Chain A
Amino acid sequence: MINLKKFKYEPGEHEAETASNSYLMSLIAIIMGLPLPIINLIATLIFYLGNRKGTYFVRWHCTQALLSQTSMLFINSYGFWWTISIIFSDENISNNYIAYIFATLIFNVTEFIATIYTAIKTRNGIHVEWWFYGTLTTLICKSGK
């Protein structure tokens, strides 16, 4: 699921710090923004926009953090509004709902642990690529310049 790979170049200390901050910031934003699922995405997007002129390593990790948060938004939003409709309308708790919330919880916990792990590794200058997101990020984020 998580691959430790060699980056195109050896990232400097300041790059590793900023890249690691993009993951840490998303963690803090999740905790501060609970139960709203969009806060962390907006925070990661602002951080990404702030660093879009940064070095390739920083941009790459900001993009990976942003992509992972984007997929979380769809899954969590659906669960959030489903819960709201159960609380405030006539809808009942069904087996489907319990299964969905359980799956969402597993997905969130996995993402949370992966984010913590990536933040720690990236801080030490180690390049961490996630399954699917890593490949997608490489396609989106151009080394350019």
Chain B
Amino acid sequence: MEAQKVEMFIMSNSKFFESHQINGIRERLIAIDDSKWAMISTIQLKDPTTILIVSILAGSLGIDRFMLGDTGLGIGKLLTCGGLGIWTIVDWFSIQKATREKNMQKIQQFLY
């Protein structure tokens, strides 16, 4: 793929991935075929900051986990009132990383 397109993609989406993953994504994007650009440019990535805000406000209902697509964990969190509040606290600190990893999984479907 064209380097300019790749750089544009990286610039506008770098906050959705872990810093150490960016180089790998860049290299992979350059290597893949141009026909995949349409799909890659329309991927809906989750914003870690938005998920963190949801986690702080509605974490005890498991909404953050539902948004990420972890329905099972979301129901577990909902039924246990956020793991009696403990799971909610843990998720405040781990949800951003989980979001970035979900985004990575999503983009990997198109990269490989």
Q: Using CB atoms and an 8 Å cutoff, list the residues of chain A in contact with chain B.
A: 12-14, 17-18, 21-22, 24-25, 28-29, 32-33, 39, 42-43, 46-47, 50-51
A71 to B18, CA, bound (A): 34
Q: Is the CB of A29 within 8 A of B86?
A: yes
> Which of B20, B89, B94 contacts A29, CB < 8 Å?
B89
Contacts of A21 in B (CB 8 A): 93-94
B24 to chain A minimum Cβ distance, whole angstroms, is 13
Residue of B nearest to A20 (CB): B93
Residues of A with C-beta under 8 A to B19? 12-14
Q: Does B76 contact A (CB under 8 A)?
A: no
Residues of B within 8 A of A51 (CB): 94
Q: Is the interface of A mostly helix, strand, loop or mixed?
A: helix
Of the candidates A13, A25, A32, A46, the one whose C-beta lies within 8 Å of that of B83 is A46
Interface centre among A12, A14, A22 (most CB of B within 10 A): A14
Residues of chain B lying within 8 A (CB to CB) of residue A29: 86, 89-90
By DSSP majority rule, is chain B's interface helix, strand, loop, or mixed? helix
B72: Cβ under 8 A from any A Cβ: no
A68 to chain B, nearest CB (A): 17
Interface bin, chain B = 10 to 19
A46-B20 contact given A18-B97, A32-B85, CB 8 Å threshold: no
A47 touches B94 (CB 8 A): yes
CB pair A28 B97 closer than 8 Å? no
Given known contacts A18-B97, A47-B94, A32 and B89 CB-to-CB distance under 8 angstroms: yes
What's the Cα separation between A90 and B40 when bound, in Å? Answer: 71
Query: In the bound complex, what is the Cα–Cα distance between A99 and B84 (angstroms)?
Result: 33
| Contact A39:B92 (CB < 8 A) given known A13-B19, A14-B19, A18-B97 | no
A43's partner among B18, B20, B86 (CB-CB below 8 A) is B86
B86 A46 Cβ-Cβ under 8 A: yes
A-side contacts of B92, CB under 8 Å: 25, 28
Given A28-B89, A32-B89, A43-B86: A50 and B94 interface contact (C-beta under 8 Å) = yes
| Any A CB within 8 A of the CB of B9 | no
B85–A50 CB distance below 8 A? no
Provide the bound-state CA to CA distance between A51 and B98, in Å.
Answer: 11
Report B79-104 residues with CB < 8 Å from chain A CB.
Answer: 83, 85-87, 89-90, 92-94, 97
